[in-house]
Amino acid sequence: MKQTITFNLNGESVQVEIEPHLTLLQLLRDKLELTGTKEGCGMGECGACTVLLDGKTINSCIFPAMEVEGRSVTTIEGLTDAQGNLHPIQKAFVEYGAIQCGFCTPGMVLSAKALLDENPKPTEEEIRNGIAGNLCRCTGYLQIVQAIKAASGQ
């Protein structure tokens, strides 16, 4: 039996009919065709599927889509402004070489956003803790940490 849910997605109200067993990741990628959110493991272990739920990071691959009813979801597609300009965190990722293959990048950027929204001037250790749930195989994290530090104005 399909059920209807209504939630805020990247600043707009969305109403969809879904099978109740759907994960949020499946809803975003398969139903809404927002493929910026990636599936790296499907088990909540790598962070590639990170999105923000009411501003906090969640692994969308293990999060039931039904539970976003009435709440607010931000995906990587919602980070640029109305003119399509990059968010300062995205800009810093580009400028500091924080992106190689790019598969972890959307999730990493959203973890960085959640971190800076809560703690605008994090220490390096806080940055490393903030993105510890997001695995990256290419960069060794260093340029990612530098980018987040730069985005925080430090």
What is the binding site for other proteins (CB under 8 A)? 29, 34-43, 45-46, 48, 75-77, 79-80, 86, 90, 93-97, 99-106, 109, 127-129, 131-145
Q: How far is the CB of 44 from other proteins (least distance, A)?
A: 9
Question: Residue ranges of the alpha helices (H) in the chain?
Answer: 24-26, 88-95, 105-118, 124-130, 142-151
> Rounded to an integer, what is the distance from CA 77 to the centroid of its chain?
9
Q: How far is the CB of 13 from other proteins (least distance, A)?
A: 21
SS3 (DSSP) at 147 = helix
Q: How far is the CB of 16 from other proteins (least distance, A)?
A: 19
Q: Which two tokens stand for residue 43?
A: 């088990």
Q: How far is the CB of 147 from other proteins (least distance, A)?
A: 10
Nearest alpha carbon to residue 2 among 66, 74, 95: 66
Q: How far is the CB of 70 from other proteins (least distance, A)?
A: 25
Q: Say which residues have a Cβ less than 8 Å from residue 114's Cβ, sequence separation at least 6.
A: 52, 55, 56, 57, 130
DSSP, res 36? T
Closer Cβ to other proteins, 30 or 69, answer by number: 30
The rounded distance, in Å, linking the Cα atoms of 74 and 92 is: 19
